[in-house]
Amino acid sequence: MTTSACQVAIIGAGPSGLAAAAHLRSAGVELCVFGKAMEFWERHMPAGMLLRSYWEACHISDPNDDLTLDRYQRARGVQLPRPVRRDDFINYGQWFQRQAVPNLDGRRVTRIETASKSFRVILEDGESVRAQRVVIATGIASFARRPSQFNELPPRLASHSSEHHDFRHFAGQRVIVVGGGQSALESAALLHESGATVEVIVRAPIVRWLRYGTWLHTWLHNRANPLRWILYPPSNSNLGPPGVNWICDKPELFRRLPLAVHTRVKRRATRPGGSGWLPPRMNGVTITAGRVINSADPVGQDVRLRLDDRTERCVDHILLATGYRMDISRCAILAAGLVRSLRLVDGYPELATGFEASLPGLHFLGAFAVGTFGPLMSHIAGTKYAARALTRCIVGQPANRATTKIASLISRIASANLRP
């Protein structure tokens, strides 16, 4: 087994990993970056999907804002549609990688262990890399949430939405989609467009449709509209109503708020709902709201569902668009001893400034950081704050003192006035 060394090893080459690599590389940090560019998006996001985020919130961050979607359009001589298509975003991310992280190592990381004052990163071919710091920026596929009533069903009868990148093989089948969020509703539309007979079953009494795509929303988000700068923060991340979106847009402020407030803000910012441009594509899709599936059992080649209103369904497949539940203990690449050394809150690693975990030198980005820094971290718009804060920590630059003081003041006010 051969061993090499670097200052920082980044695991993952999606938006978070690529942004971090671009910023650190610009700051002169010696890097090893492992993974295939945009692999999670290619393997776990469905073809035909449209990004719910606004155009301005779809740029992967680089130090000088040179590698935006606008710059990609000009470089390729194309005009991308809005909302941004999944395939276009994947191509953009791969272009970003070629510009900002040309030395990407496509080998898969199989294990990360602690070593003497460093980390050992073991690769799929048996080679290992010794790194002073490790940044985890992998995808969230391994954290897919599967409700217990579906645990005994084989994959041919029930699967999670993250397991599919193409729904065309469901043509002619009867499919139940479980969930009421964007993933569930867009998956239902894509299944219907692929020739499946689709019913969506939602626990909530109604399906929420977000205003994104309506004329009023478009008008409010016009950059020439003065209300836009009052109602919506710079990241334009579409997280929650005005007020909540400003809290989400300030991750350092969010980090300082009481945990009880964290829960309330995250719940309000990420309520399940579908984009305003989806309903016309849902014609022909049955939506059953206010119902819970009590049981699901194989019957021959089909699966029978029993709902809480005593009705039944017999279908070919159940698609679980039931989101994700973070649990660091399920992160297979982390050695058990390393996991035991981490402080966790609801399955998330507890992080300090610079996205550093309780084990010094280990950093977590993307969805891993939602527990500490808020919902913005799971969105592309969050790469700007995360990459800059990570870089400041690693190169030893102090945070902006004025920003820190303001965040501290607001958090004290919130502690006094926003307790549940």
Using an 8 Å Cβ cutoff, are 333 and 171 in contact?
A: no
Domains and CATH numbers, the chain: 3-142+325-407 (3.50.50.60), 145-208+272-320 (3.50.50.60)
Output the six-digit token pair for 3: 């061993």
Residues in contact with 277: Cβ distance below 8 Å, sequence separation at least 6, in sequence order: 50, 83, 212, 213
Beta bridge partners of 295: 306
Output the six-digit token pair for 221: 């988000």
Q: Is the bond leading into 102 cis (omega within 30 degrees of zero)?
A: no
Render pLDDT for 134-158 as a digit per residue (tens, 0 to 9).
Answer: 999 998 888 999 999 999 999 999 9
Using an 8 Å Cβ cutoff, are 41 and 12 in contact?
A: no
Phi and psi dihedrals of 7, rounded to 5? Answer: -75, -45
Which pLDDT score, from 0 to 100, does residue 241 have?
A: 77
pTM beyond 0.85: yes
Sign of the alpha-carbon dihedral angle for 113, 114, 115, 118: positive
Which pLDDT score, from 0 to 100, does residue 277 have?
A: 87
Phi and psi dihedrals of 71, rounded to 5? Answer: -65, -35
Output the six-digit token pair for 375: 């919902």
Does pLDDT of 39 surpass 90? yes
Which pLDDT score, from 0 to 100, does residue 215 have?
A: 55
Render pLDDT for 257-284 as a digit per residue (tens, 0 to 9).
Answer: 888 888 888 888 888 899 888 999 999 9
Helix (H) or strand (E) holding 254: helix 251-256
Kindly state the average pLDDT of the residues 38-43: 96
Mean pLDDT of the chain: 90
Question: Confidence class of residue 345 from pLDDT cuts 50, 70 and 90?
Answer: very high
Residue 365 CA, chain-centre distance (Å), reads 10
Kindly state the average pLDDT of the residues 18-45: 97
Kindly state the average pLDDT of the residues 93-114: 97
Which pLDDT score, from 0 to 100, does residue 276 have?
A: 85
Tell me which of 53-62, 134-143, 225-234 is least confident: 225-234
